[in-house]
Amino acid sequence: MFRSHNCGELTAANINTEVTLSGWVQKSRDKGFIVWVDLRDRYGLTQLVFDEERTSKKLIEQAQNLGREFVIQVTGMVIERASKNPNMPTGDIEILVSKLTILNESMLPPFTIEDKTDGGEDIRMKYRYLDIRRNPVKNSLIFRSKVSQEVRNYLSNEGFIEVETPYLIKSTPEGARDFVVPSRMNQGEFYALPQSPQTFKQLLMVGGMDKYFQIVKCFRDEDLRADRQPEFTQIDCEMAFVEQEDILNVFEGLTRHLLKEVNGVEVEKFPRMLYDDAMRLYGNDKPDIRFGMEFGELNDVAQHKDFGVFNTAELVVGIAVPGGNSYTRKDIDKLINWLKRPQVGALGMVYSRCNDDGSYKSSVDKFYDQDDLAKWAEVTGAKPGDLVCVLSGETNKVRAQLSALRMELAERLGLRDPKVFAPLWVIDFPLLELDEETGHYHAMHHPFTSPKPGQLELLDSNPGDVKANAYDLVLNGNEIGGGSIRIHDKETQAIMFKHLGFTEEEAKAQFGFLMDAFQYGAPPHGGLAFGLDRLVAILGGQETIRDFIAFPKNNSGRDVMIDAPAPIDEQQLTELSLKLNLKS
Ligand code: ASP
């Protein structure tokens, strides 16, 4: 028996019992005649005491030679501590050790294994197994496990079946590059790792599994933006014989269940917002609605004066910054410089101060009088004491820029409280999206998404206007899930492929299996997938997903612990009939 108790559970109630504990040496304090050691395991810390008067000299020497992170087993008596530590669950007691066994020694760890460590990100990634011993990472993994468990509880109760789908497949079109795996047995041929199990879950619906879910790894070879991982986890779901309303209700239920069970938070019915409204009011398809600062479009009130910049702009749009009139000229200049950085790319910003006496003072007073500025305030909802910030230009760009400004200011104003949860469904996404570079349309969600009833005809005349039965679940300004009602007949699917630029042969070669399946009684179906890593991070009140992943990759997609990716040896290349053609 390695342990009778764990290191987090002993309290005053256990005083005078003999216990055996196993764990790691967190740290020790050596006073010569008395030595204290903090023993750690997954459950907590327990203080051990070795005392010349009460235990043997030999035992004290043994304790004095313990290094940090040694793995030990001790047997001893639970006693009351002389000086108690109310901040520790085990702070009332200590163990008077009578027997110490070293189970394994440890090299000196490259960083301190404490909540606040001296180790930088890189070194902690290299020794991730040591980082996992630290509370912040350990607790994040435990938290993630709880979320996954609750997902399974909820969906199983709703009658969902958990089905695994293969990882060695053919390309799935989720808009990224595939990771590919060469096949030894089929020389010259490659598998692709799934960007998601999309086609398989649809085939499960054809197979009659009318409620499917899976907690599943997905792989996308994208240029890594901050806080993205090349492999990530989805809660992937699909249902047959459902309409959009059914799906929204079931997964709103799941999200509400998680918020309640994991965070102890009850939320009202989730609001729904049209994609077009989200873009108009927040410049963004995943608006953070924990705070207001909605956009006010100012074309009607700011154009046709003598200010050329606004007159030639497609969109003039502003937000009211609560209390922003207190910003000094210097603060505002800094804000303008922030907006002009290439990451945001605005050309400048016009502003109007809303004074407490009801008057206005703007950066464009030459062109706008008090009545004009009063209208700006009215449209943006500004009150005395606020600052109206106005941007202008090409609609999509200017919306993105103002959205960035809104989020930045909200952050600075402390309006993005991680303890407040504001879920939101964004619905009626466009079916297609124009790729500015190529001039081609591609599927905004994926090619299996169905257009809204009666809109198929629009595909020829106004492809950009066609709306889809597609929806996203947004939580605190993050897209945590998205899905759609699918096309379930071969003809419509063929029309979609054609509009996405596939020839008939290409569509058949890539998705023939799905089109074939649709000829054998495919039921109406739809689904969605949640990004589990991000969902867990948000529920855990954190901005980054890395701590919630046991073995994450770094920003260049490397696992620095196992040193992957790595070259393979000649022998493996020969077996696969592959030759490298590296550009030095
Ligand atoms: N496969 C989709 C995705 O990964 C989700 C869905 O449509 O169900 O985003």
String of DSSP letters for 175-203: SSBPPEEE-SSSTT-EEE--S-SHHHHHH
User: Which two tokens mark 255?
Assistant: 């999200």
Please tell me the distance between residue 328's alpha carbon and the centre of ligand 1 in angstroms: 46
- Virtual CA dihedral for 114, 118, 122, 128, nearest 10 degrees? -20
> Rounded CA gap, 115 and 139, in Å?
11
Question: Is 174 annotated to bind ligand?
Answer: yes
The residue whose CA is least distant from atom 4 of ligand 1 is 196
Question: What pairs with residue 192 in β-bridges?
Answer: 169, 180
The candidate with the shortest Cα–Cα distance to 534, out of 582, 583, 448, 472, is: 472
Atom of ligand 1 at shortest range from CA of 218: 4
Atom of ligand 1 at shortest range from CA of 528: 8
Q: Is the dihedral of CA 193, 198, 201, 205 positive or negative?
A: negative
Please tell me the distance between residue 449's alpha carbon and the centre of ligand 1 in angstroms: 10
209 CB burial (10 A radius; 0-12, 13-18, 19+): middle
With vertex at residue 427, the alpha carbon angle to CA 153 and CA 399, rounded to the nearest 5 degrees, is: 125
Atom of ligand 1 at shortest range from CA of 449: 7
Beta strands at 18-30 and 71-80: parallel, antiparallel or unpaired: antiparallel
Reduced to 3 states (helix: H, G, I; strand: E, B; else coil), residue 264 is coil
Q: Note if the bond before 565 is cis, omega within 30 degrees.
A: yes
Beta strands at 470-475 and 423-427: parallel, antiparallel or unpaired: antiparallel
Please tell me the distance between residue 147's alpha carbon and the centre of ligand 1 in angstroms: 20
Using most ligand atoms within 8 A of CB, pick from 234, 254, 479, 486 the residue to mutate for ligand 1: 234
> Rounded CA gap, 350 and 530, in Å?
39
The candidate with the shortest Cα–Cα distance to 278, out of 301, 295, 298, is: 295
Please tell me the distance between residue 237's alpha carbon and the centre of ligand 1 in angstroms: 9
Predicted pLDDT of residue 174 = 77
Using most ligand atoms within 8 A of CB, pick from 169, 171, 174, 450 the residue to mutate for ligand 1: 174
Tell me which amino acid residue 523 is: P
Predicted pLDDT of residue 52 = 85
Which of the 8 DSSP states describes residue 534? H
> Rounded CA gap, 476 and 542, in Å?
12
The full 3-state SS of 277-344, as one line of letters, equals HHHHHHCCCCCCCCCCCCCEECHHHHCCCCCHHHHCCCEEEEEEECCHHHCCHHHHHHHHHHHHCCCC
Contact 448, 485 (CB under 8 A): no
Q: Which string of DSSP letters, residue by residue, matches 396-424?
A: HHHHHHHHHHHHHHHHHTT---TT---EE
Please tell me the distance between residue 529's alpha carbon and the centre of ligand 1 in angstroms: 5
**What is the share, in percent, of the chain residues with pLDDT greater than 70?**
100
Please tell me the distance between residue 276's alpha carbon and the centre of ligand 1 in angstroms: 21
Other Cβ atoms within 10 Å of 157 Cβ, number: 10
The candidate with the shortest Cα–Cα distance to 464, out of 423, 425, 430, is: 430
Other Cβ atoms within 10 Å of 99 Cβ, number: 12
Please tell me the distance between residue 9's alpha carbon and the centre of ligand 1 in angstroms: 43
Residues of the chain with pLDDT under 50: none
Tell me which amino acid residue 553 is: K
Question: Is 534 annotated to bind ligand?
Answer: yes
How far, in whole angstroms, is CA 516 from its chain's centroid?
36
Please tell me the distance between residue 511's alpha carbon and the centre of ligand 1 in angstroms: 16
Question: Is 532 annotated to bind ligand?
Answer: yes
The residue whose CA is least distant from atom 1 of ligand 1 is 198
Question: Is 221 annotated to bind ligand?
Answer: yes
> What separation in angstroms does the CA of 274 have from each of 212, 386, 400, 450?
27, 28, 17, 17
Atom of ligand 1 at shortest range from CA of 197: 1
pTM over 0.85? The answer is yes
Contact 550, 562 (CB under 8 A): no
Predicted pLDDT of residue 172 = 73
Using most ligand atoms within 8 A of CB, pick from 214, 236, 534 the residue to mutate for ligand 1: 236
Q: Using a 6 Å CB cutoff, which residues line ligand 1?
A: 174, 196, 198, 482-484, 527-529
